[in-house]
Amino acid sequence: MKEAVEKLKSLQVGKVIENEPLAGHTTMKIGGPADLFIEPSSIENLAKTMDVIKEFDLKWTVIGRGSNLLVSDMGIEGAVIKLGKGLDNLEINGSELTVGAGFSLVSLSVQISKKGLSGLEFASGIPGSVGGAVYMNAGAHGSDISNILKKAYVLFEDGSLEWLSNEEMEFSYRTSVLQKKRPGIVVAAVFSLAPGNREEIVDRMQSNKNYRKDTQPYNLPCAGSIFRNPLPDHAGKLVETAGLKGHSIGGAKISEMHGNFIVNAGGARAEDVLALIQHVKDTVSDKFGVKMETEVEIIGRKS
């Protein structure tokens, strides 16, 4: 590890920090240290970073703004690559956007709505990055990334960079080909939007944002939706009907506002959240015979 750190620093790829606590890099404010934390300052430096990781045979994990993520209390082995500053560029060409993976999805939706471009209204309250949103096909309010993505620029583990079309991304509900079939890092995306009435677009976006504010507990540290909707049922409704709203284990608590959110009510550990997730799974299975699957990504060392 020491040699890898020295090489990354000599290449000036960006921030390179050992034993960086990840609680400060997740929206749930939970997570132990990364053995090695790297925030590349450009796509080129990301590619150099991957070369070093491959050279030293390091395990690697990628994060964006840390939403939809639960990091183990034991931290993460190997390298954690954060896509942030340096990969947050935006280029607008008519109704087509080329966006860096580190760009905030909320910020993007706000900027684009003011330009009279429609298609991103659904994203106005999703607290993640563009890269993470493409990776997991983020969505809300009846739409998702698959409806607007033209292509994604992906860095694969062997160091190759490739544009994948919408079809090649193999999108489905909250998933893409990158999650299991072809592991890779989204470094940029091209979205195809549609011209529209600026006032109507801004109103729709604001309405979506207000709905999320009124029904979801983003005033407390959380990771967004914990469970996938077991269609045709809705996860939050099942949790509520099971009488689990407000139930807590340690510092983790099922939100009183929305049954599909677990909040960090103060001092929560990942093990608290995991225990609460298991309790929900067991209770909903016993009461309704429904299998609940997590939407939040759970990563890091096993305790």
- Among 20, 39, 121, 295, the one annotated catalytic: 295
Question: Cα–chain-centroid distance for residue 262?
Answer: 16
Stated length of the chain: 303
* DSSP, res 175: B
Instruction: Scan for tokens 């921030």, then name that residue.
Output: 15
Burial class from Cβ neighbours inside 10 Å (0-12, 13-18, 19+) for residue 197 reads exposed
Given a contact cutoff of 8 angstroms between Cβ atoms, the answer to whether 58 and 16 are in contact is no
- Among 109, 124, 225, 255, the one annotated catalytic: 225
Name which of 120, 126, 119, 135 is nearest 83 in CA terms. 135
Rounded to whole angstroms, the Cα distance separating 80 from 82 reads 6
The question of whether 42 is a catalytic residue gets the answer: no
**Which tokens is 46 given?**
């990301």
The question of whether 225 is a catalytic residue gets the answer: yes
Burial class from Cβ neighbours inside 10 Å (0-12, 13-18, 19+) for residue 95 reads middle
**Residue 29 phi, psi (nearest 5):** 60, 40
- Among 104, 118, 129, 174, the one annotated catalytic: 174
Neighbours of 202 (CB within 10 A): 16
* DSSP, res 225: -
Rounded to whole angstroms, the Cα distance separating 71 from 171 reads 25
Secondary structure (3-state) at 46: helix
Rounded to whole angstroms, the Cα distance separating 260 from 234 reads 9
Kindly list the catalytic residues.
Answer: 174, 225, 295
